[in-house]
Amino acid sequence: MFGCLVAGRLVQGDPTRVDETHFIFNLVDTENISHVVIFMLGTVPFPDGLGGAVYFGWPTTAGLTWQYLGHVSNDKPSAIFKLCKAKPIENAGFGSTFGGGTSTNAQIGIAVESINEIIQRTPNSNTQASKVESFREFSQKMLESFFNYASSFAVTQSQMVPQPDTTFIPADAIQKWFDNFQRKLSQDLYFWRT
């Protein structure tokens, strides 16, 4: 019914079923997880009035601490969640429901619940579904704007007038930076965080 994709890893399409309404995806190497995508496989829809509340179980010395991320439903069959800034918060009563919190790995828990109750919850602002395409578009426009602005000051060597208090940067240096930044951005939207 559900799939899980951690950025940069293979898709997990077979969650562990705890009971009829609770499912778990185990995540390894939690320090290197920045985003996770939860999606419905399209084979089994939710029954009317139900959806999947998505929780992130972060390992702590006391076990897993669960944090509400958001949801998936028939009307919203997939979501991207930012985990790189997720901080453990109080358990909120879900530790025993999703397997006791004894795992040393992080987990994604999905609880099938009333969609009316799910949509009333507010995810932590640090983990809300990211708007990857909007961010990519903003980054691209910002780069183009900077490049165009800096290029508007370009002069040839014969046009240069000595100005001892002004620093000049070769236009080809800006072009190289622009090309390099675009290449990195196309490979990893969040490369600049490292």
Q: What letter does residue 157 receive in the DSSP assignment?
A: G
Residue 96 pLDDT exceeds 70: no
On average, the pLDDT of the chain sits at 79
pLDDT score for 86: 57
Q: Write down the residue that tokens 């620093």 correspond to.
A: 167
Q: Interhelix angle for 132-151 vs 171-187, to 10°?
A: 170
d(CA 145, CA 136): 14
Higher pLDDT, 44 or 188: 44
pLDDT score for 135: 67
Instruction: Count Cα neighbours of 169 within 13 Å in the Cβ-side half-sphere.
Output: 12
d(CA 191, CA 194): 6
Show the beta-strand stretches assigned E in 31-98: 35-40, 50-60, 63-72, 78-82
Render pLDDT for 121-138 as a digit per residue (tens, 0 to 9). 888 665 555 455 566 777
CB burial class (10 A; 0-12, 13-18, 19+) of residue 175? middle
How many Cβ atoms are within 10 Å of 99's Cβ, its own excluded? 19
d(CA 83, CA 143): 26
